[in-house]
Amino acid sequence: MSIVVTGGAGFIGSCIVAKLNEMGMEDIYIVDNVNTSEKWMNLRNKKYIRYYHKDEFLGELPKLSGITAVIHMGACSATTELDFDYLYKNNYLYSIALWEYCAQKQIAFLYASSAATYGDGTEGFDDREDIKRLMPLNRYGYSKQIFDLWAEKQNERPAQVIGMKFFNVYGPNEYAKGRMASMIYHGFKQVKENNCIKLFRSHKEGYADGGQLRDFVYVKDICDAIVYFVEHPKVNGLFNLGTGHAESFKTLAESVFIAMGLEPNIEYIDMPMDLREKYQYFTEANITKLRDAGYDKPFHDLKQGAADYVQNYLQQNFKVW
């Protein structure tokens, strides 16, 4: 029994490997594009069979045997990426190639979609609704949407198909994500440097400064849900993975200060112009479908997740899980 984890040196992927290792599983193939990035540090404490560069893996895949699941986290996850051709090749065509392999071999295929597919939220955030109505706000969200649409139409399918619409994930091992790392990570660094967290002012009526709302979900909860899917092969479908409860960036910032034992000190700044027209002011996962599929484990609320992340990882010299 072996599992392939693409994006296995990245944020969510390396946490999945950590979770599998904790469960005693070491027969793991990691696929990524580490290159000169700091993602290699996420691999130092992991147990796995082999690392493959993503560009060589598809050619090597037919030579592997005993694979029972492909957990496909590998993608360009930058919501600000402007190169559509790159997104199309990396997020869409690569996913199709893995799907077709899993369908041929009749093994499980679990893949990362995104809450970015929901666009501005006017169509809601319900994974039980028709996904053809969704209008993503950026190229990244669209690259995820077109694969969801492609997958929906396929007759030849893997033994199990799970698509996961991740909401705002935060937690250990995101340290190499740069601008795309969570606000908890950036907020912690701001406090250490300036004893202050800077949040965006609101540029939309009805939302106070720092009152923009997100469904912030702890990466450990994501990993628990993925393990549940792997252990329940009869579960199939496209699922939201969030807490089901939106919280404000102001609450997030306050949670970081509380976790650090400090009084909140928040400053508001203008949002960059390149983000304003494509900025989501509200996201909240409807997780009824997930609960109906039998997953009943509670999610960390923002204060709980921030406390664990800050105290056990960020304050421990950016410890890797």
264, part of any domain? no
Residue 64: the pLDDT is: 95
261, part of any domain? no
Binned at pLDDT 50, 70 and 90, residue 280 comes out as: confident
Answer for the pair 7, 52: CB distance below 8 angstroms, yes or no.
Answer: no
Give the pLDDT confidence of 82-92 residue by residue, as tens digits. 999 999 999 99
User: Would you please indicate which residues are annotated as catalytic (active-site) residues?
Assistant: 140, 177
Give the pLDDT confidence of 194-240 residue by residue, as tens digits. 999 999 999 989 999 999 999 999 999 999 999 999 999 999 999 99
**If DSSP codes are grouped into helix, strand and coil, which group holds residue 53?**
strand
Burial class (CB in 10 A: 0-12, 13-18, 19+), 21: middle
**Taking the CB of residue 190, how many other CB atoms lie within 10 A of it?**
19
221, part of any domain? yes
> Which of 231, 250, 207, 203 minimizes the C-alpha distance to 297?
231
Burial class (CB in 10 A: 0-12, 13-18, 19+), 211: middle
Q: State the CATH number of the domain containing residue 35.
A: 3.40.50.720
Q: Which residue has the higher pLDDT, 173 or 204?
A: 173
Buried b (16+ CB within 10 A) or exposed e, 42-70: bbeebebeebbebeebeeebeebeebbbb
Residue 80: the pLDDT is: 83
**Count of domains forming the chain:** 1
CA distance 215 to 285: 7
Residue 4 has pLDDT above 80, yes or no: yes
> Which of 273, 72, 286, 279 minimizes the C-alpha distance to 158?
72
188, part of any domain? no
Q: In the chain, what is the straight-line distance between the N-terminal and C-terminal CA atoms, in Å?
A: 23
- Report the mean per-residue pLDDT for the chain: 96
CA distance 55 to 89: 11
Residue 278 has pLDDT above 80, yes or no: no
Owning domain of residue 236: 2-171+215-244+284-299
Mean pLDDT along residues 231-257? 98
193: left (phi over 0), alpha (psi -120 to 50) or beta: alpha
310, part of any domain? no
> Which of 148, 135, 120, 140 minimizes the C-alpha distance to 78?
140
Mean pLDDT along residues 246-273? 96
**If DSSP codes are grouped into helix, strand and coil, which group holds residue 168?**
strand
Structure token digits, residue 24:
């005693």
266, part of any domain? no
70, part of any domain? yes
Eight-class DSSP state of 129: S
278, part of any domain? no
Give the pLDDT confidence of 30-78 residue by residue, as tens digits. 999 999 999 999 999 999 999 999 999 999 999 999 999 999 999 988 8
Angle ∠(203,208,210) on CA atoms, nearest 5:
90
Q: For residue 186, which phi and psi values (nearest 5 degrees)? A: -65, -40
Measured on CA atoms in the order 107, 108, 112, 117, is the torsion positive or negative?
positive
